[in-house]
Amino acid sequence: MLSLLTSFLTAAALLQGPAVKPQPATIAKPAPAPPIPWSATRRLTVADFQGHPGPSDRLAALTSADIKSNAACRDFVFSATVQATFDPNTSWFQNPKLASDALLRHEQLHFDITEAYARLMRQKLAAFAAKADCNKLQPAFNNVTKAVYAEWDKEQNRYDQETGHGLNAARQAYWEKQTQLKLEQLKPFAVQ
């Protein structure tokens, strides 16, 4: 009788399925914002800066921009893509409510400098395409892009140094003018 009762209780437990422990409520995180491609007609806004500074960050703002590049050979024909992008998730203002137009212009120019170097990379890759060896593509492509990335990094640092992170209005105006000239000179290498 005991074995029949035990069998019955075991069968009932199996029919109910495994015991489910209550899970603590989880708050769904919003999906990360997609990168914003550079555009001559779309300027950055304070709302685009969705990241948060770390406890030791002392800057008023940070623009996280990138030059994304890819290369491929299909049927021994070289092609490349290059795009300047802004990452809203890792870009931030220390205090968005106090972000001035001047600070936003300074951060926009970081993105504009990124686009100037993306155009420079497209120019160099167009010249590279004429002599690209698809059998040895990766090392040669890496050499071209590494050089542009290094120049771009130096230029971004020099921009912050010379403008005092945008606090020197005269130097900021100079950089804005020079960057617009670079963008204009490299216009044939803009994404259409």
pLDDT at 134: 83
Rounded Cα–Cα distance for residues 150 and 130 (Å): 23
| Nearest residue to 111 via CA among 58, 73, 152, 59 | 152
Confidence at residue 52, expressed as pLDDT on a 0 to 100 scale? 95
Question: What are the residue ranges spanned by the domains of the chain?
Answer: 31-189
For the packed helices 137-163 and 169-185, what is the interaxial angle rounded to 10 degrees? 150
99/28 Cα distance (integer angstroms): 29
Mean pLDDT of 61-68: 97
Q: How far, in Å, CA of 64 to CA of 165, rounded?
A: 15
- What is the structure's pLDDT at 5? 39
pLDDT tens per residue across span 117-150: 999 999 999 998 888 888 878 888 888 899 999 9
Q: Do 156 and 116 form a contact (C-beta atoms < 8 A)? A: no
